[in-house]
Amino acid sequence: MHLYVDTKVPAQFGFRSSVNIYDDYVVAEGTWTRNSLIEDNGKMLFPLHTSKIICRRDKKSCIESKAIISTTGNGPYLMTDVNEYDVTSWTKDAIVYANYGACFTEIYTIDLNSKIVNSTEKFSANVPNPKYCEAPGSGHVDAKYKLDDGYTVYNKLTRDASPYLLRVIYSLFGN
């Protein structure tokens, strides 16, 4: 019975999210989740992923390395991505960095006190051709993201991928 679910959710990434603070750098790890009001109820295109973010005070930059498993098309297949961002602010309480795209701006905040990493994606209305900058769903909608526990994301995805009958059997007899 697990084979069907394994085809939909073939891997688990990152057990928990973390933020580790050192003298001149900070390391954050986890899985991005989205909380937005658009029609897809916060679903992400590639929910099976993990990120590691290393921010260095002396370089005034944060580098995010991401591993992603796609289950679309002939998947599953592994994709990787590395991005470097300029730090706009580094205080004793938070690190802020941003990604400026043609259609959007992403602002990332690492709260050094609560050890929580958040991001806000704002779509721009003032672009030469707004047709190419449509947000997922209908219209221009801002989205909020949080670096969360990978284990929690994996459990939700496997639960959602399980056919109704399989969920009933699990509830009656366990795994």
Q: How far apart are the first and last CA of the chain?
A: 10
CATH annotation of 2-173: 2.40.128
In tens, the pLDDT along 87-140 reads 999 999 999 999 988 778 899 999 999 999 999 988 776 666 666 666 554 455
| Mean pLDDT, residues 142-164 | 82
Higher pLDDT, 3 or 68: 68
Angle at the Cα of 88 from the Cα atoms of 103 and 99, rounded to 5 degrees: 25
Among candidates 32, 69, 35, which has minimal Cα distance to 51? 32
